[in-house]
Amino acid sequence: MDPSVEVTLSGILAAAEDAAPVNAVEAVTRKMGATLHARAVSFLIADLSGRALVRLTHVPLDGASDGRRDGDEVATVRPFDGGPQEQMLRTQTVQALRDEAGWTVLAPVTERGA
């Protein structure tokens, strides 16, 4: 493994270990965004029905904010509509999208059983 990738992964895993269990997803998301110099990072998971993605956390790294909030919790359901998020999940391939604000990268992370 490339040493720089190993250092990056170690930092991301350390962020999870250093956080309280209820804050681990946000800590990993924040560390990943900082490592990639991103303006914002979201962590989404497929819902049990397989018809939508649920955003577990959204970490704005530039001070911006969006989403429905209950205290500090953000909950956003994104139904599948055939668009890039659904295609990324179904094909398990990275989608890189450019718009007037810059780039959005959708990257699947899948737990695969042995």
| CB-CB neighbours of 86 under 10 Å | 19
* Token pair recorded at residue 18: 């250093």
Phi, psi for residue 55 in degrees, rounded to 5: -80, 115
Model confidence, pTM: 0.64
Number of domains in the chain: 1
> Is 113 a member of any domain?
no
- The answer to whether 41 and 25 have CB atoms below 8 angstroms apart is no
Q: How far apart are the first and last CA of the chain?
A: 21
Give the rounded distance of the alpha carbon of 17 from its chain centre.
18
pLDDT in tens, 17-63: 999 888 888 898 888 888 888 888 888 888 888 888 888 888 888 76
Q: Report, as an integer, the average pLDDT of 60-84.
A: 69
Asked if residue 111 is part of any domain, the answer here is: no
User: Residue 25's domain spans which residues?
Assistant: 3-106
* Residue 59: inside a domain: yes
